[in-house]
Amino acid sequence: MKIKFNPDSEIVKLVQDGLKKTGGYCPCRLEKTEETKCMCKEFRDQIKDPDFEGFCHCMLYYKSLEA
């Protein structure tokens, strides 16, 4: 398993700018809770799933099944 940033640098910059504005909370979510703090609970749960491969909700991170 490997977690990396989205290969699209424009998306990475956009999401990182949003994270700065929200104090580290997912800029795609309205609520600011511990579950929406980046790296959000949804993606942490997806990381635990051995069969999941894909992007987090806001497309900042990508989980690859390859090492």
The pLDDT of residue 18 is 97
**SS3 per residue for the chain:** CEEEECCCHHHHHHHHHHHHHHCCECCCCCCCCHHHECCCHHHHHHHHCCCCCEECCCCCEEEECCC
The pLDDT of residue 27 is 94
**pLDDT-derived band of residue 66, with 50, 70 and 90 as boundaries?**
confident
User: What's the rounded Cα separation, in Å, for the pair 1 and 33?
Assistant: 27
What's the pTM? Answer: 0.90
- State both tokens at 41: 């609970």
Q: In this predicted model, what pLDDT tens digit does every residue of 9-63 receive, in sequence order?
A: 999 999 999 999 999 999 999 999 999 999 999 999 999 999 999 999 999 999 9
